[in-house]
Structure 1
Amino acid sequence: MDDRNVEGHQHSDQHEVFRSLPFPFSDGGFPANLGAVVQRTVLDGVEPAREVIHTGDISWVVGDGVNDPNQPGAVVVTCIKHVVERNSSVARLASLPIGQVAYRENPGQPWLIEPHSWPEE
């Protein structure tokens, strides 16, 4: 998923959303106002979160791992807490190191972590 053009945005519940916040997080969990680029299928509960990326520029990306996130309208910027509400195991990834991706085949399976790099275009 390409998040290069994402900046802070307002969410529908009218609080500020930040693209990145100082890391590591002070309480070990995701801050309430931390934004992420999230695939709509994950946010809407159609698909589970299967990949969480903590990019090299300290932003966060959450995908379903099966649908193309680069399609028009496929992603939205929202608070990562909304992902955690639907996928509770994502909360354990708040300490995911910068430049790493956590992925899993399906819910209930362990998250595997490895260095992340964007595919060549």
Structure 2
Amino acid sequence: MTHEVVRGVAWPYPGNRFPEHLGVIVQRTVLEGTESARSVVHDAEGDWLVSDDVNDPNGNAVLVCMEHLVAADGTIVELAAMPPGTGAWRPNPGEPWRLRQHTYADA
């Protein structure tokens, strides 16, 4: 079964819950479960990005629905209230998420 992946959903989300089929760019290592999510970014443009914060994500990321990641790691659900321009990091799985302002490094 396939369904549309949606992006550009206005924030804040009703009930601080991720909208159904919300798209997220995720590093393959996190999606495949070989590494845990250690970095979740809700960038200023409203896009969501999830990485393992260990391996280089360039060329190793795909677009999926956020609900797949939440099903694999329930701690991500609490980040739906995170406003655009914010990132959450944790050194290791099981540790609390730490929020801070997110900006892209100048190229």
TM range (shorter): over 0.9
TM-superposed CA distance for 1:46, in Å, is 0.6
Quote the residue 2:38 is aligned against. 50
CA distance, structure 2, for counterparts of residue 91 and residue 112 of structure 1 = 14
Could you say which residue in structure 2 is the equivalent of 1:28?
A: 16
Unaligned runs of 5+ in 1: 1-12
Residues 20-56 of structure 1, C-alpha deviation per residue, up to 9 Å, x if partnerless? 2121111211112100100011111111110100011
SS in 1 for 2:100: strand
With normalisation by structure 2, the TM-score equals: 0.95
Cα distance between partner residues in 2 of 1:32 and 1:43: 18
Letter of the 2:61 counterpart: V
Give the TM-score of the pair, scaled to structure 1: 0.84
Matched, 1:80 2:66: yes
Counterparts of residues 91-110 of structure 1 (less than 5 Å) = 91-110=77-96
RMSD of aligned residue pairs (Cα, Å)? 0.9
How high is the sequence identity, in percent, across the aligned residues? Answer: 42
Larger fraction in helix: 2
Aligned length: 107
CA distance in 2, matches of 1:24, 1:117: 19
Runs of 4 or more above 6 Å deviation: none
Unaligned runs of 5+ in 2: none
1:53 is paired with a residue of what secondary structure?
strand
> Which residue, out of 27, 31, 55, partners 1:67?
55
Aligned to 1:8: none
Report SS of the residue matched to 2:14. coil
Aligned equivalent of 1:114: 100
